Structure 1
Amino acid sequence: MKNDSYGTGSGLGFRSEAGEASLGESHRSVAVGSGSVLKRFAAFLGPGFLVAVGYMDPGNWATSLAGGSEFGYTLLTAVLLSSLMAILLQALCARLAIATGRDLAQACRDAYPKPVSLGLWLLAEIAIIATDLAEVIGTAVGLQLLFGLPLVWGVLVTALDVFLILFLQGRGFRWIEAFVTAMILVIAICFVGELVLAQPAIAAIFDGLLPTPEIVTDSRMLYLALGILGATVMPHNLYLHTGILQTRAYREDEAGRRTAIRFATLDSTIALSFAFLVNGAILILAAAAFHDRGAGPITDISQAHGLLQPLLGAAIAPVLFAIALLASGLSSTITATMAGQIVMQGFLRMRIPLVARRLVTRGIAIVPAAAGIILYGSKGAGELLVLSQVVLSLQLPFAVVPLVQFSAERRKMGAYRASSWMLVLAGAIAVLIVILNAKLVYDFAVTGTA
């Protein structure tokens, strides 16, 4: 029988043992002072943006480009609902991490029998590999579009990003946060420029934010909607957020924890709202540039890049697109690596150097990426991107259900247990994700369509 009680019932969880702390080299390394409210809040700014970058990684591009070019603005509602789900789930992550002093992987290991815990670890690793597969392909495509580097060579070059991670890690955790935030701003600026050139229909955008039954009844639309869901509410982000919040050295009395929960939730809400705008912009660009101009479905990022200049009539359009894609791949690769470290350490109590962890994950991701590109070219790369996001969606319940379960248990959370409305909504989200995934599997297995 597992001991699933974290603390005394007051919600004051225990601190991880010295060798077990999440991201041990950065654990409680960011000081939280006692100055003004703004100064204290500034100390918590950062983790939300590390989480947010996963919501605009190359996998989002594939699903949003495919959805926007094929169905116009209709799937904007999937982006909106996915973003609202993400905001709520990441708020629960912040509460769990600060109330218990544990990340989600550690919490699962504490609560479940070993076979269950190992199964969840394996599923989490699959999700991280699927995430990394999207980043490998996205970065390789970005390098090809900007510098003409062949896709296969670009896939191999992505292994060198380990030196970027080493450099940032040596500078301190705040440098990692600053780099990722800067990349997000680059992506946002590029898409603002793209939308100015595309001139989307404002009324159609608002219509697209309203749900339609077609999303569920049309198997192809559901497949892409689930891809958007998997690209937006990403399983590894739930582990990541609960781990990186342990870098904050907040006060551990009741007042200190409540303040930390409030600031961490505000940080992630702001960051994810910004990510929604960027995510929505990708789909809007695809709808305005391709669907509205009759270009037809776009499943290949390189094809989208090639069509932007003739359709929008500006040479800068494809350049902005390629820069944003490269920035997306570079930034999301850092957060996936940290999530992998948190998952491995939390579930297995195994600590390996960040570089080794990076090389293992990337090595596994490079093989299918290179094989797909060699066999099917850039079209195969695009299809792999969409498939990776659907795989992420299928992994979601195995991270969301434990998160909701732990958040609802008073003996774990004590005085910091989430409010009833949050728990009801989170439970509804978990049920919805399971139902939609079941329908997707049924459509694929029984009807052979997706």
Structure 2
Amino acid sequence: MALVQIQETPKWKKLLSYVGPGFLVSVAYLDPGNLETDLQAGANHKYELLWIVLVGLTFALIIQSRSANLGVATGKHLAEHCKTEYPNPVNYCLWILAEVAVIAADIPEVIGTAFALNILFNIPIWCGVLLAGLNTLLLLGLQRYGIRKLELAIGILVLVVGGCFFSVMVHARPNAEEVVIGMFVPKLSGTKATRDAVALLGALIMPHNLFLHSALVISRKIPHSYEGIRSASKYFLIEGGLALFLAFLINVAVISVSGTVCSNPNLSSESKSHCDNITLDSAAFLLKNALGKWSSKLYAISLLASGQSSTVTGTYAGQYIMQGFINMKMKLWLRNLVTRCIAIAPSLVICIIGGPSGAARLIIIASMILSFELPFALVPLLRFTSSKAKMGRHKNSLMVTLVSWLLGFCTISINLYFLSTTVMGRITSNQQSKAASIVAGVFVFPIMILYLALLIYLTLKKETPAIASPDVLMSSVRSSESEFERSDDTQRAREVEVDDIISA
């Protein structure tokens, strides 16, 4: 399968040539885990936390653009850079953490798909969990017709999610002035709002997305020159910005719908109970009671589209992670089957024993795991993209470096605070026996120490000297015809490697 050719003129066709990776990445900001967090934020605080979504997705655009730049400027994705930079023990730790993040992200997708099938076709939730992996294989089958076909299918699913929620929002009629105020006026009323804001922010940025974006951009045939790389980075930034802006609008629509419905003074007692403890499952009953049966069906369709699109991108992320860290390649359908089976096991047990409420708690646990994992993708990315040895003249500017590290530090600190207070709250809870608290402490504290030690190592490790910087390589390419031929050979080698991953 050839790399995607870039059509230089007219400019709108050139932009279309770059459209794809950003939309594949954007579905992670619309997965069932995010939808549940959005529903809870709207139900508990109406439009008050919309500014958190704006801040979170603005930071996501900065981080995702750094990930794209890494792949464009170096021709290698984040996992490959980690393998080169760190010793084997650290690489194995990072690989395991990244694989756990992919599996944790897959759990809400499994449960969300099961809920959607239950709402649409009255299929028992545990049966929906078992069926969740099979329909994804149909989407993965599209990769045989080229990466562009798969990108188109994912883009359509994103539009389905957006169209469904925008339709429901129009019928719900949120107050436009209050929505705008919530979007641009920061406000946190009480400790519960702070906790929900942290959860909302933590659910937005997925660690495996950073690996994925740096790999997807390599599917474009980009000129190996300073201007070629600079132009490609600009177009990928525009494309990623458009995709994340659409994701932002959909998140705003979800929060606005739940905020409008749950703040209605004429809400029935049954609907109020759903608002007090809203989940992916109870949201359907809430919308059905408040807005009509059609709204719950649209919600279920959007949930199904969200789960399917997120699973496909998770499968690709897992494949690139495995290939980059341990140079192991696996058929995409087999990769999906392995990941999905691991995610299905806890989901199936929890759904059978705990029902919908148990499944909702499992989604929260999965979101906490993703928050826990984020620094181990974010810190290496910021280190690599700020490195002149790796990026040459394409490294982050001083302003971008400062803003990225500041926002990264804030995000990591918020996640660590949220995780530590949650874990400590469980350990010191009166509901647990003293013996259980001691046992939990014995296991938790060593893990926290190792966690901080690895994070400090990744942040402060001295950079491995590069054999040649990107600028040196590009000047060599421009200097002689033989170097052009060598660049073509490298491009063909990269084409074969991408083909191995995409069409495996």
Q: TM-score, normalised by structure 2?
A: 0.80
AA aligned to 1:310 is N
Partner residue of 2:284 out of 278, 290, 305: 305
Aligned to 1:285: 257
Judge conservation of contact 2:110–2:132 (CA < 8 Å) in 1: yes
AA aligned to 1:366 is I
Mean Cα deviation higher: 116-125 or 146-155: 116-125
Q: Are 2:62 and 1:84 aligned?
A: no
Q: Distance in 2 between matches of 1:33 and 1:119?
A: 41
Aligned to 1:32: 6
Q: Taking structure 1 as reference, are residues 65 and 336 closer, same or farther at Cα in structure 2, changes over 3 Å only?
A: same
Q: Are 2:305 and 1:330 aligned?
A: no
Q: Are 2:435 and 1:435 aligned?
A: no
**Could you say which structure has the greater relative contact order, defined with CA pairs below 8 angstroms and 6 or more residues apart?**
1
Aligned-pair distance for 1:36? 2.2
Aligned-pair distance for 1:222? 4.1
Aligned to 2:390: 412
Structure 1 SS opposite 2:36: helix
Q: Distance in 2 between matches of 1:189 and 1:161?
A: 22
AA aligned to 1:202 is A
The Cα RMSD (Å) is 1.7
Q: Distance in 2 between matches of 1:145 and 1:35?
A: 47
Q: Distance in 2 between matches of 1:75 and 1:211?
A: 8
Aligned-pair distance for 1:116? 1.3
Judge conservation of contact 1:103–1:239 (CA < 8 Å) in 2: yes
Structure 2 SS opposite 1:31: coil
Q: Distance in 1 between matches of 2:136 and 2:22?
A: 23
AA aligned to 1:74 is E
Q: Distance in 1 between matches of 2:263 and 2:371?
A: 25
Aligned-pair distance for 1:441? 2.7
Q: Are 2:211 and 1:211 aligned?
A: no
Aligned to 2:166: 192
Mean Cα deviation higher: 134-143 or 286-295: 286-295
Q: Are 2:384 and 1:384 aligned?
A: no
Structure 2 SS opposite 1:30: coil
Aligned-pair distance for 1:386? 2.5
Judge conservation of contact 2:35–2:254 (CA < 8 Å) in 1: yes
Judge conservation of contact 2:20–2:151 (CA < 8 Å) in 1: yes
Partner residue of 1:444 out of 422, 426, 435: 422
Q: Taking structure 1 as reference, are residues 130 and 222 closer, same or farther at Cα in structure 2, changes over 3 Å only?
A: farther
Q: Distance in 1 between matches of 2:363 and 2:54?
A: 21
Judge conservation of contact 2:136–2:311 (CA < 8 Å) in 1: no
Aligned to 2:399: 421
Structure 1 SS opposite 2:333: helix
Aligned to 1:116: 90
Aligned to 1:5: none
Q: Taking structure 1 as reference, are residues 205 and 166 closer, same or farther at Cα in structure 2, changes over 3 Å only?
A: closer
Aligned to 2:153: 179
AA aligned to 2:91 is S
Partner residue of 2:209 out of 222, 229, 237: 237
Aligned-pair distance for 1:390? 2.4
Q: Are 2:329 and 1:367 aligned?
A: no
Q: Are 2:374 and 1:396 aligned?
A: yes
Aligned-pair distance for 1:147? 0.6
Judge conservation of contact 1:68–1:291 (CA < 8 Å) in 2: no
Matches within 5 A, 1:122-133: 122-133=96-107
Q: Taking structure 1 as reference, are residues 165 and 186 closer, same or farther at Cα in structure 2, changes over 3 Å only?
A: closer
Q: Are 2:251 and 1:273 aligned?
A: no
Partner residue of 1:253 out of 225, 242, 249: 225
Q: Distance in 1 between matches of 2:373 and 2:195?
A: 15
Judge conservation of contact 1:230–1:394 (CA < 8 Å) in 2: no
Q: Deviations over 1:48-106 (max 9, x none)?
A: 10001111011111111112112222221221111111000011011111111111111
Partner residue of 1:70 out of 39, 44, 55: 44
Q: Deviations over 1:187-242 (max 9, x none)?
A: 1111111111111122322232222355xx72x44443333223321111111101
Mean Cα deviation higher: 378-387 or 43-52: 378-387
Judge conservation of contact 1:132–1:365 (CA < 8 Å) in 2: yes
Q: Distance in 2 between matches of 1:374 and 1:280?
A: 33
AA aligned to 2:278 is T
Q: Are 2:129 and 1:150 aligned?
A: no
Unaligned runs of 5+ in 1: 1-25
Aligned-pair distance for 1:256? 1.2
Q: TM-score, normalised by structure 1?
A: 0.90
Judge conservation of contact 2:71–2:214 (CA < 8 Å) in 1: yes
Q: Distance in 1 between matches of 2:334 and 2:56?
A: 33
Aligned to 2:72: 98
Q: Distance in 2 between matches of 1:442 and 1:133?
A: 22
AA aligned to 2:186 is P
Mean Cα deviation higher: 135-144 or 228-237: 228-237
Judge conservation of contact 2:202–2:411 (CA < 8 Å) in 1: no
Judge conservation of contact 2:43–2:259 (CA < 8 Å) in 1: yes
Structure 2 SS opposite 1:249: coil
Judge conservation of contact 1:298–1:304 (CA < 8 Å) in 2: no
Tell me the percent identity. 36
Q: Distance in 1 between matches of 2:149 and 2:175?
A: 39
Q: Are 2:135 and 1:161 aligned?
A: yes
Unaligned runs of 5+ in 2: 430-504
Mean Cα deviation higher: 380-389 or 152-161: 380-389
Higher helix share: 2
Q: Distance in 1 between matches of 2:229 and 2:363?
A: 40
Aligned-pair distance for 1:162? 4.6
Q: Taking structure 1 as reference, are residues 87 and 234 closer, same or farther at Cα in structure 2, changes over 3 Å only?
A: same
Mean Cα deviation higher: 77-86 or 438-447: 438-447
Which structure has the bigger radius of gyration?
2
Q: Distance in 2 between matches of 1:180 and 1:238?
A: 18
Aligned to 1:7: none
Partner residue of 1:352 out of 330, 334, 344: 330
AA aligned to 1:39 is K
Q: Taking structure 1 as reference, are residues 298 and 286 closer, same or farther at Cα in structure 2, changes over 3 Å only?
A: farther
Mean Cα deviation higher: 294-303 or 396-405: 294-303
